[in-house]
Structure 1
Amino acid sequence: MPDTQLCLEALSALCGCRVEPTSVDSQLTPQDLVNIVALKEFYRQEGFQTLEYPSIGSLSLQEADDVDLYGPPPALTAGPAESAGAAATVKINPADFFHPQYDYDFTNIKDGNKKFLRGNEQYLRPCGWNRVALRVLNKYDGGDGWLGTGSDAWPVSYHGHGMDGSLGIIVTHKADCVDEPGFLDAAAASITIPQTKGRGVYSTRDVCIAEKFCKKFKSKVDGKTYKVVLQSRINPNKRKECQRENYWLIYVPEGSNDIQTRAIVQESLRPYGLLLKQV
């Protein structure tokens, strides 16, 4: 497993909050992690400025790429504006959050023409990345079949920061593809079919796509810059195929409240790996 503090920095970059170690119970579970990452993007595209999350409170949806999450806290004399911009601090117990037994370093692996399956669908392994396993075994009702390699397993999904509704499922399809067969018909249908409008949470089967949208952070551990992506399994009964190849959407219906929206994410995405790549 990479340095624990490096992994906490990666979590901080994903969540937009300061993640610190503790020896007691964690404030966050791996499921909370994917909920926060997905919901931050969703609520940002909906025009909100903060996300209220149980056990943490208010999380800013403003970009924090230039914010030093591990810098000193705001001075006691800081004004309201400065204090409001301060990142929340979250405590997790690394022993309960990470599962080193299942770490896998794909950094120097090239699959070539080899094919792997998860849930009878092709699994594009994260070659070039170092995977830190999350402790998710025996955490869900119904057993761990979703995490396996058999026919009842869920397909693998990658989530990069910034994968939101701007990608579009139908109506915001890139302009240079408007002449593709069926696109105009699909676009016309999207006007009358709400489920095609792309309101929800996006992910992809291809880590190379997720990498284009991923977060970067400079580690205080070694001074190097890393990319970070979340590796999850996606419920095949909850996703929708996008017009763009290899994109998936977890659709959130209009009128869903915060609890319903969070429930939709929890039923649809389950994380199991934190992917790191040195820039």
Structure 2
Amino acid sequence: MSTHKLYLEALSALSGCNVEATTGPSQLTSQDFVNIVALREYYKQRGLKELPYESLGSLSLENVEDQDMYSAQLALTGEGPASSLKPTARINVQDFFHPEFNYDFTNIKDGDKTFLRGNEKYTRPCGWRRIALRVLEKYDNNHWLGTGTDAWPVSYHGHNMDGSLGIILTHKGSPDDNPSFLDASAASLRSPDTRGKGVYSTPDIKLAEKYCKTFKSSVDGKTYKVALQNRINPQKRKNCQREDIWVVYIPEDYTDPQRKAIVEEALRPYGLLLKQV
């Protein structure tokens, strides 16, 4: 059970919700978590303070989740001011996780080995532990999750992969460069199908790590980084100037349900990644 508590803390850190265990039906699916993580950053790009999400009401986009909480001790017990600003989401850990497909990459180094998913290079998350999510038979088929040519490529999503990555549309500088002067340049590169802000992810786990969430666990007192391992629909993404960033654009005039639908068409999570700091 303590292991499950650690996983719940990781989900809490990623989503900004208080994630608790339940023996009943899960309130959120694994797809909901990638929706929330991606749309949180999208709504921040738009300067909004809340993310409306069915079954949760409104999710605050303030930086409460970035406080050093002794992370989910507050979140899971409901104590303290941080948790009071967060909605609670309950999941059934037996239905949510798929331990048969867990994989520990902590001490693995791939070197020059090449792996493919969807006929594209797959950089495995070496140095991380992958906690598998139960996604088999959850979609119209399982081909997207395979290793063949019709599989979707792998992408990683860090908690803070937001609009600051607009820098990728203009030059190949460091992802830590100040993007404040680049907005006009980025806008000038838009075409009709890229008009609007979007959701970013990367095939490079090392880049995702720069933007991922860090939390201190109440289970073992250790500090962890957390990220999502996804598959991305190759027909829905756009290549940016930097080869290690993909963006899924969301048209400016779309409604909240349409924005959620775009994310669901483009990104499917299958692994929760943890790395001890």
Do they superpose with TM above 0.5? yes
Uncovered stretches (5+) of structure 2, i.e. residues with no partner: 176-184
- Displacement of 1:199 in angstroms is 1.2
Partner of 1:73: 78
Which runs of structure 2 are paired with 1:43-122 in the superposition (5 Å)? Answer: 43-63=43-63, 64-66=65-67, 68=69, 69-71=72-74, 72-73=77-78, 86-122=85-121
How high is the TM-score relative to the length of structure 1? 0.88
For 1:30, the equivalent position in structure 2 comes to 30
In the alignment, the residues of structure 2 paired with residue 253 and residue 74 of structure 1 have an alpha-carbon distance, to the nearest angstrom, of 39
Cα distance change, pair 138–264 in 1 and its aligned pair in 2 (3 A)? same
1:227 to 225, 248, 262: 225
Where do 1:252-271 residues align within 5 Å?
252-271=250-269
Normalising by structure 2, what TM-score? 0.88
Residue pairs, 1:96-245, within 5 angstroms? 96-141=95-140, 143-168=141-166, 171-173=169-171, 190-191=188-189, 193-196=191-194, 199-245=197-243
Cα distance in 1, alignment partners of residues 196 and 168 from structure 2:
7
Q: Match of 1:37, SS?
A: helix
Report deviation, 1:245.
2.1
Instruction: Tell me how far 1:61 sits from its aligned partner.
Output: 0.7
Q: Which amino acid aligns with 1:116?
A: F
String of CA shifts for 1:159-180, please: whole Å, max 9, x gaps.
Answer: 0011112111655535689xxx
Taking a change above 3 Å as real, the CA distance of residues 198 and 111 of structure 1, as seen in their structure-2 partners, is farther
- Contact preservation (8 Å) 2:2, 2:219: no
Pairwise CA distance, 1:189: 8.6
Q: Is the 8 A contact 1:169 1:242 kept in 2?
A: no
Task: After TM superposition, give the deviation of residue 2 of structure 1 in Å.
Answer: 8.1
Residues 150 and 232 of structure 1: is their aligned pair in 2 closer, same or farther, counting only changes over 3 Å?
A: same
Alpha carbons of structure 1 residues 122 and 94: separation in structure 2 relative to 1, 3 Å: same
Q: Distance in 2 between matches of 1:166 and 1:56?
A: 27
Stretches (4+) displaced over 6 A: none
- Contact 1:106/1:126 (8 A) holds in 2: yes
Query: Does structure 2 conserve the Cα–Cα contact (< 8 Å) formed by 1:229 and 1:274?
Result: yes
Deviation at 1:193, TM superposition (A): 2.1
Q: Tell me: CA distance 1:188–1:87, structure 2 relative to 1, closer, same or farther (3 Å).
A: closer
- 1:83 and 1:112 mapped to 2: Cα distance? 42
Cα deviations by residue, 1:188-227 (Å, 9 ceiling, x for unpaired)? 9935625456610000000000000000000000000000
Once the two structures are superposed, residues 8-31 of structure 1 have per-residue CA deviations (whole angstroms, 9 ceiling, x without a partner) of 000000001110100000000000
Kindly indicate whether the alpha-carbon contact (under 8 Å) linking 2:200 and 2:247 is maintained by their aligned counterparts in 1: yes
What is the DSSP-based 3-state SS (H/G/I as helix, E as strand, rest coil) of the residue aligned with 1:3?
Answer: helix
Deviation at 1:274, TM superposition (A): 0.2
Residues 55 and 67 of structure 1: CA distance in aligned 2, closer, same or farther (over 3 Å): farther
CA distance in 2, matches of 1:270, 1:109: 25
* Residue type of the alignment partner of 1:55: S
Q: Distance in 2 between matches of 1:240 and 1:188?
A: 14
Residue of structure 2 equivalent to 1:276: 274
- How many residues align? The count is 263
Equivalent pairs: percent with the same residue? Answer: 63
C-alpha separation in 2, matches of 1:34 and 1:267: 12
Residues 204, 248 of structure 1: 8 Å contact kept: yes
Contact kept, 8 Å, 2:12 with 2:19, in 1: the verdict is yes
Residue 169 and residue 253 in structure 1: after superposition, are their counterparts in 2 closer, same or farther (change >3 A)?
farther
Report how far residue 86 of structure 1 moved.
Answer: 1.8
